[in-house]
Amino acid sequence: MPAVLITGAASGIGRAAALQFAHQGWDCLLVDISPAIAALPAHCLEQGAASAQAFALDLTDAQALAQLGCQLAELPALDALVNNAGISDSSGRPLAEQAPAQWQRLLRLNLQAPQALFDTCLPRLKPDARIVNVSSGAGHKAIPWRGLYSPSKAGLIAWSHSLAQRYPELGVTTLCPGFVRTELVQGLMDAGRLALADAVAKIPLGRLAEPEEMAAALVFLAQPQARVLSGQVLSVDGGSGIYGGSSRCALSTAVPAALHTPLHLQLQAGSNAACDGAWLQALQADAPAHAAATGERCQGVVSTQALAGGDLLEAVLSAGQQFAAAHARDASLLLLLPAGAPHGVPAWQHQTALAAARMLVATLACEWATQGLRINTLLLSPEQATGATVAQLLPLVRFLTGARAQFVTGQSLDISGTKESHHG
């Protein structure tokens, strides 16, 4: 059975992830500074974990990490490491007035501890192991009066990217959660200290995420099928990271689909016979394994229209308009875009069009959110668009269009591995 080590596992996202890994039969190694971690292995075993063991330790303590390393030597090799532990600064004290002791603790846990734990676990990682680092939307946008929280999360994103480059055999990804209904957030709302309408004011999808949704993303990123995302950041934030409007987002009254809801996935074909044929064949071959006899199904569409050449922005807009005309609400569109410039098109020209297309996707995501419609993109290499690797991408496609990613919208993920798509 695969084995995973999860930090910050005693509560919130970490606990939800532990239970989902357990449900899939993983060996679960659970780390937290809280004594409450001692009770979690029993719950994991009830959920179906192959085994479960708790480690109550301070991740900023070098001696405790050394002892953990010795213990890991006697346990199964790790298929995945999830760096989830972290703290915030709720003091409200400006950084200019903070003593070193106040900000050093946060920096050690949020940024330095994941690096130290990786070094500790490295001898026990399988050659193709996956590393998932939990950052935050605060790593992309400064949140004042939260101490070094935003800087620490930005540093974690950068470290993840560099780690992916240093260890290409591993899969290294970053999860950036948005506003999640953790025990702390729910307590603030119950006490009247936080209004739900205020909490979702900048979230286009109009609701908070549940810890189980973040856990579902973590579990997917820890799978072998997610290695194609190595070096990428997955923002599971309801669109808050892309929203630049001045108006308040409306509070959604829709009930999210259950995470296990089956997916009905269709192809929106373009005019490139090779691309359309490869994706249609892969979808048809994959369909029987995911067929649902009866009941509710999520509606997903994967579009190859933008792979056909021609005006990229026009192709994205046309695909979006066709999708919106066919789906009034509660559906997901995944656009496939060419990461590199087509033959005869200068790289600078393609990069200009690609930047505009990605912003168009973000704009559509914000406009559609109140209808429960989502849109995301994958940037592909020519081989990924037409070759044998198409079938290998289907687990990622199904994840992004399905219920487990229903808090993901407006995201563009470059899985092409080409330098041009990053630097033009």
Give the Cα separation of 235 and 271 in Å (integer).
31
d(CA 261, CA 249): 27
Contact yes or no for 146/138 (Cβ under 8 A): yes
Closest by Cα among 327, 413, 328 to 362:
413
Closest by Cα among 181, 233, 177, 257 to 11: 181
| Bridge partners, 263 (sequence order) | 298
Place of tokens 């500074």: 33
Residue type, 121: C
Q: Distance (Å, rounded) from C-alpha 20 to C-alpha 49?
A: 9
For residues 170 and 125, what is the distance between their CA atoms, to the nearest angstrom?
9
**Nearest partner of 26 among 267, 223, 243, 311, judged by Cα:** 223
Sequence-distant (≥ 6) Cβ neighbours of residue 72 within 8 angstroms: 5, 29, 78, 120, 121, 124
For residue 376, the cross-strand partners are 334
DSSP code string of 205-236: T-SPBPHHHHHHHHHHHTSGGGGGGTT-EEEE
**Three-state SS at 51:** strand
243 is a catalytic site residue? no
In contact, 110 and 86? CB cutoff 8 Å: yes
The alpha carbon of 208 is separated from its chain's Cα centroid by a whole number of angstroms, namely 16
Cα–Cα distance, 261 to 73 (Å, whole number): 39
CB atoms within 10 A of CB 1: 12
What distances in angstroms separate CA 20 from CA 9, 23, 76, 224, one per listed residue?
12, 5, 19, 16
Which residues, including other chains, have CB under 8 Å from residue 96's CB and lie 6 or more apart? none
Structure tokens of 245? 């409007």
Catalytic residue, from 149, 179, 220, 407: name it: 149
Which of the residues are catalytic?
A: 149
